Amino acid sequence: MMSYEVMLMFDPELPEERQGEIIVRMRELVERSSGSWSGHDLWGRRKLAYEIDHKGEGVYHLVTFETEPATLDEVSRVLRITDGVMRHLAVRRVEGSRTSAPPAPVQEPEYAANTSSQEEE
């Protein structure tokens, strides 16, 4: 069996219950084929570098599991046809690696935004 990571990007308007259903469906596919589910990490809502389907944000989830390559193909096929999944990427997990969510963006204080606009004038 191989170890994999799948990064999911959900539509930001998709209800959390539906996101959970999709994750559960993935887990069932993996476990039904004698694979093992390693974990699920919610990265949260993030701004996109460019719009996808006229949406500027996405909700990210990282799932890790061990399974056969044929099962990964089936999981990818299901994700491609599932409404609400904007993008997904499956990669082979490197032993000993640790993937963690990037830090949340720090919002600039309002007074700093006013200062920069005054400098431009």
- Ordered by start, the domain boundaries in the chain are 2-120
Q: 52 Cβ partners below 8 Å, 6+ apart? A: 9, 58, 86, 87
β-sheet bridge partners, residue 108: none
In this prediction, residue 110 has a pLDDT band, given cuts at 50, 70 and 90, of low
User: What per-residue confidence (pLDDT) applies to 97?
Assistant: 75
Q: Residues 21, 96, 76, 13: is their CA dihedral positive or negative?
A: positive
User: What per-residue confidence (pLDDT) applies to 105?
Assistant: 64
Q: What pTM was estimated for this model as a whole?
A: 0.79
Name the nearest CA neighbour of 2 among 57, 84, 66, 75.
66
Q: Give the mean model confidence (pLDDT) for residues 35-39.
A: 92
Note the CATH number of domain 2-120: 3.30.70.60
CA–CA dist 106, 18 (Å, integer)? 29
Q: Give the mean model confidence (pLDDT) for residues 14-38.
A: 94
User: What per-residue confidence (pLDDT) applies to 91?
Assistant: 94
User: What per-residue confidence (pLDDT) applies to 98?
Assistant: 73
Distances (CA, A) of 11 to 19, 45, 50, 91: 9, 10, 14, 21
